[in-house]
A and B are shown apart, each in its own frame.
Chain A
């Protein structure tokens, strides 16, 4: 994966891109983030992003694809995940490989802060990368499951539109349900 920052001179980066697209081998795709970072990836990896897979099918992929909604730092994380998950090991057939991948996933997400994960969710949704969207969503789900409603409101920036009585009533109704 090669990464080249946008130079201050707009023109030269355009030329760079043009040259890159001419000289790149057939099965590599160049993605450019919204802030100008470029990433060269294998077609197989790029296909994990359904939005790009469709473009490739429809033959309008070209060699360089701009990803306008995603910044470089997030795109690089997404590509890192996609590369690891190009081939998904079958749970029944290769348990060992699956365990290793799960462990890599856990480490991958451990280092990330919640803000980054939210951005990854948004980007994975835009790129239509189901695998990562599911994984990132599950990560957040596991995080919020032990939080109080108040903490969760803060995370999702939600206003509490219940009156205290209504809130208490619902809480009582559901208090016993198979908890703990």
Chain B
């Protein structure tokens, strides 16, 4: 299929008057050909056209994959701030009054009222955010803030410190989203498949994965593959690419070899290129941003082009823990860093957004951003999509909240006596109050000797629901 897009010139046809019969009627598949080329944000608005369109946009995996491929991509810079919200933002470079404008944010839905999932790291792929926590948490979550779907995944407490990265393997038009889980120095890397909801070991043990640099933040996803800085004994000199289709990794070169860097940060530009920010550990070294050629399945070799070389003062403290976005057209980059002021007695931390570009002064503007850096990366280039993460299966099938899972065989009279009265807002989102439909999940068998029902109910996430359930009163499923 030709990958070009029509320039956005308006058609000069006449205003449509009312005999709608004037336009030939297009069959469903041709209407889909058109719809899959409408940008995600606009298509979302057109959901209310009719039920069939709404279903197509919301439920159809095949359409979502097609849309991901064909629609012009909207790149939306997102900033991750406290309270686990994501905010689209834009930088206004007006010379007299540069500012950063934040638009309305969206929060990760919590499944249960009392429970909070503290997001520490976020990994973006295809409009999906894989969120992991740094707390004693056995679950990870894949979240599509655009469709507001979430998929909670049981990773197990043993994988608590592991790195989790999201990607996909694609066979013709069907994408299979997968999560790679590993830890430096260990050899039990595993892959989780979202379709089959299961974990398994990597087919061949991969030494290269063990050697990747510690910070989970130094990874990006591009066309379903994962790219990370690769650490060797003599320091980081290359990139590692992990391919979910072959489940093998490959080493790729960085722009140049260097023993150590003050800063090295990975990012993605456009749909198919990597970008890296490098600053050597040498006095007077410039901060450079390099971009690769377009990378796709047919690319033989990765080549780098230097896009920016800036003299940024050491005061800016750009380190490995920063994140950046590159605007190629304007040759401007936005770098987000945590800034430590150790000068005075009180140390003062703040988060800074630097907008930099080549010019008389390489630093264009500094913006102090309150309340970020609760999670990493602070900023990323988000591409909204309708990527589907629900468990495949019948339309009515929904994922049960993990804490209410009851293995059927264990259900005996007296064992599961449990009740929770939940406020509307805290119900898992698969009960749609607007549709006022009722899903019957199951029923409980009550023991005639009910314990005291006045004990306060506290919903803690545990791996073993039986323990919690034994302590409480009757089961009520809605």
- Interface, chain A (partner B; CB < 8 A): 85, 88, 91-92, 98, 102-103, 105-106, 109-115, 117-119, 121-122, 125, 130-131, 133-135, 137-147, 149, 152-162, 166-167, 169-171, 173-174, 176-180
Q: How far is the CA of A114 from the CA of B34 in the complex (A)?
A: 13
Q: Output the residue of B23, B53, B54, B70 with the most chain A CB within 10 A.
A: B23
Q: A88-B2, A114-B11, A142-B6 are in contact. Are A160 and B23 (CB under 8 A)?
A: no
A-B contact pairs, 26 of them (CB 8 A): A103-B7, A105-B6, A106-B7, A106-B9, A111-B12, A114-B13, A114-B16, A117-B11, A118-B23, A121-B26, A138-B6, A139-B6, A142-B5, A145-B42, A146-B42, A147-B46, A154-B16, A154-B20, A155-B23, A156-B23, A156-B31, A160-B49, A162-B48, A166-B434, A170-B54, A174-B44
Please give the distance in Å from A111's CB to the nearest CB on chain B.
Answer: 7
Closest beta carbon of chain A to B258's beta carbon, Å:
29
A59 to chain B, nearest CB (A): 27
CB <8 Å contact, B26 and A109: no
CB distance from A77 to the nearest CB of B (A): 14
Given A139-B11, A145-B38, A157-B21, CB of A130 within 8 Å of CB of B1: yes
- Segment 98-116 of B: residues with Cβ below 8 Å from A: 103-104, 106
B31-46 near A? 1/0 per residue, CB < 8 Å: 1011101110111111
Q: At the interface, yes or no: B24 with Cβ under 8 Å from chain A?
A: yes
Which residues of B are at the interface with A, using a C-beta cutoff of 8 A? 1-14, 16, 18, 20-26, 30-31, 33-35, 37-39, 41-51, 53-54, 70-71, 74, 76, 88, 103-104, 106, 146, 148, 293-294, 382, 384, 434
Other than A113-B11, A162-B48, give 17 A-B pairs with Cβ distance below 8 A: A85-B2, A92-B293, A102-B7, A112-B11, A115-B13, A117-B11, A121-B34, A133-B33, A134-B1, A135-B4, A142-B6, A158-B50, A160-B50, A162-B51, A167-B48, A177-B146, A179-B45
CA distance A114 to B293 in the complex (A): 38
CA distance A142 to B9 in the complex (A): 8
Q: Which of A154, A156, A176 has the most CB of B within 10 A?
A: A156
Given contacts A113-B11, A122-B26, A153-B49, contact A138 B41 (CB under 8 A): no
**For the complex, what is the distance from the CA of A156 to the CA of B1, rounded to whole Å?**
24
Q: Are A155 and B16 in contact (CB under 8 A)?
A: yes
Contact residues in A for B25 (Cβ distance below 8 Å): 156-157
| Cβ of A144 to closest chain B Cβ, rounded Å | 7
Q: Pick from A125, A140, A143: contact of B10, CB below 8 A.
A: A143
Measured between alpha carbons, how far is A159 from B2 in the docked complex, in Å?
33
A91 to B33 Cα, complex, angstroms: 23
Residues in A neighbouring B104, C-beta threshold 8 A: 176
State A66–B354 Cα separation when bound (angstroms). Answer: 64
Hey, which chain B residues are within 8 Å of A153, CB to CB? 49-50
A177 to B107, CA, bound (A): 12
Kindly count the residue-residue contacts between A and B in the assembled complex, taking CB atoms under 8 Å apart.
157
Bound form: Cα–Cα A178–B328 in Å:
22
- CB atoms of A115 and B23 under 8 A apart: yes
- Taking a contact as CB atoms under 8 Å apart, the answer to whether A118 and B11 are in contact is no
Q: Of A110, A133, A149, A157, which is within 8 A of B23 by CB?
A: A157
Give chain A residues whose Cβ lies under 8 Å from the Cβ of B22. Answer: 115
Closest to B22 in A: A115
Check A174–B47 contact: CB distance below 8 A: yes
Q: Which 10 A-B pairs have the closest CB atoms?
A: A113-B13, A141-B37, A145-B42, A131-B2, A137-B33, A149-B49, A169-B434, A141-B38, A106-B7, A139-B6
In Å, the complex CA distance between A78 and B148 comes to 42
Residues on the A chain within 8 Å of B37, using CB:
134, 137-138, 141-142
Closest beta carbon of chain A to B18's beta carbon, Å? 8
**B46 touching A177, Cβ below 8 Å:** no
Task: List chain B residues, Cβ under 8 A from A88.
Answer: 2
Q: Which of A121, A138, A180 has the most CB of B within 10 A?
A: A138
Q: How far is it, in angstroms, between the C-alpha of A99 and the C-alpha of B228 when the chains are bound?
A: 35
Q: How far is the CA of A131 from the CA of B1 in the complex (A)?
A: 6
Asked if residues B9 and A152 are in contact (CB atoms below 8 Å), the reply is no
Q: Which of B25, B26, B48: most chain A CB closer than 10 A? A: B48
